[in-house]
Amino acid sequence: MLLQIVEAGIWAPNGGNAQTWVFVVVTEGDRLRHIRAVSPGILGTPAAVVAICQDKELAEEKGGRLARETASVMDSAMAGENIMLYAVGAGVGSCAVLSFHKEAVRQLLGLPQAIVPELLITLGYAAEENPLPRREFQSVCFFEKYGIAHGSRAE
Amino acid sequence: MDRALNDEALELVAYMVSSARGLVDENRMYGPLRLLDAAGRLIAFVDGKDITDGFLLRTRALIDSRKHEAATDPEAFVGFLDELVLSLAGELERRGK
């Protein structure tokens, strides 16, 4: 199950089909606790953490500065979304975590200098549901021009 | 202190220091959240060791059940912090007698 969830990440859209991502899955007790210790954004005690990383040298080689600085970050987010959608479909809870110390995580995972951890996805069975409030759709989605809500006429 | 206890203490310290670093760049509401989470982790750390304290365990359960409000309902979260401080002050007073 865990492998299938993580594999969903490689099917995510990505800039120029560069696929410069690297996924490190942590399930082992000590390492998992150590990752949690340097990742304040992990509020629970997940069964697994997937570190979505980017090979920044490969990104630069394939797509220049835009890929290294921007597209690779977006690609990580899209891979994370794929993983989380697959997880929820499989009845597994997940959370995307950006509050972690990148260098500490790099050290704990033994990542080479060019491989940068961009996003952590925690996986486990949620004790409870805590749905987050959403902004009103009409306040963030416009048609044809900024400020024009669906169904209203453009001036 | 045995090895496991030392390791647990080290993890708690790593969490607090990582939080301190992260908070430099984060949402200001994350400060109270991290401190509250640290309080819960501290209670978990002492639980079942030299100290077993029903009041603290209940406090930890409350923290775990409501800390998410920092993201879902900041106003309720601040209200919860006030309630918690008053509860702790009451317990301090009670034990001081």
**pLDDT tens-digit series, residues A43-94:** 889 999 999 999 999 999 999 999 999 999 999 999 999 999 999 999 999 9
3 state DSSP class of B25 = coil
Q: How many domains does chain B have?
A: 1
pLDDT, position A42: 95
Print the SS3 string covering chain A: CHHHHHHHHHHCCCHHHCCCEEEEEECCHHHHHHHHHCCCCCCCCCCEEEEEEEEHHHHHHHHHHHHHHHHHHHHHHHHHHHHHHHHHHCCCEEEEECCCCHHHHHHHHCCCCCEEEEEEEEEECCCCCCCCCCCCHHHHCCCCCCCCCCCCCCC
Q: How do residues B29-71 score in pLDDT, each as one tens digit? A: 999 999 999 999 999 998 878 778 899 999 999 999 999 899 8
Q: Least CA distance to A30: which residue of chain B? A: B7
pLDDT grade for B1, boundaries at 50, 70 and 90: low
Taking 70 as the threshold, does the pLDDT of residue A107 lie above it?
A: yes
pLDDT of A129: 74
Q: Is residue A145 part of a domain?
A: no
Q: Does residue A146 lie in a domain region? A: no
Instruction: List the structure tokens of A11.
Output: 């099917």
Distance between A34 CA and the closest CA of chain B, angstroms: 7
Neighbour-count burial of B34, counting CB atoms closer than 10 A to its CB (0-12 exposed, 13-18 middle, 19+ buried): buried
Helix (H) or strand (E) holding B32: helix B30-46
Residue A122: closest CA among A10, A8, A26, A9: A26
Residue A155 confidence (pLDDT) above 60: no
Query: pLDDT of A129-154, one tens digit each?
Result: 777 788 999 999 999 999 998 887 65
At residue A19, φ and ψ (nearest 5 deg) are: 50, 55
A36 to chain B: which residues are within 8 Å by CB?
Answer: 11, 15
Residue A22 domain-assigned?
yes
Are the CB atoms for A123 and A93 separated by under 8 Å? yes
CB atoms within 10 A of CB B26: 17
Q: What is the dihedral of CA A46, A134, B22, A10, to 10 degrees?
A: 60
Q: When comparing pLDDT for A34 and A128, which is higher? A: A34
Q: Edge to edge, what strands does the sheet with A21-26 contain?
A: A21-26, A48-55, A115-124, A93-97
Query: Structural domain of residue A132, as residue ranges?
Result: 2-140
- For chain A, first and last CA: distance in Å? 53
8 Å CB contact between A93 and A42 = no
Adjacent-strand bridge partners of A122: A49, A95
Candidate from A37, A99, A131 with C-beta closest to B11: A37
Q: Quote the number of domains for chain A.
A: 1
Q: Which domain holds residue B85?
A: 3-96
The percent of residues in chain A predicted with pLDDT above 90, rounded, is 87
ipTM surpassing 0.90, yes or no?
A: no
The CATH number of whichever domain residue A72 belongs to comes to 3.40.109.10
DSSP conformational letter for B26 = S
**B66 interfacial to chain A (CB closer than 8 Å):** no
Nearest CA to A23 among A40, A2, A43, A38?
A: A2
Give B-chain residues touching A41 at CB under 8 angstroms. 22
Helix B30-46 and helix B54-66: axis angle, to 10°? 140
**Domain for residue A27, yes or no?**
yes
Report yes or no: A114 at the B interface, CB cutoff 8 Å. Answer: no
Sign of the alpha-carbon dihedral angle for B6, A37, B64, A83: negative
B83 in contact with chain A, both atoms CB, cutoff 8 A:
no
Give me the mean pLDDT over the A22-40 stretch. 96
Arithmetic mean of pLDDT over chain A: 94
In this prediction, residue A153 carries a pLDDT of: 64
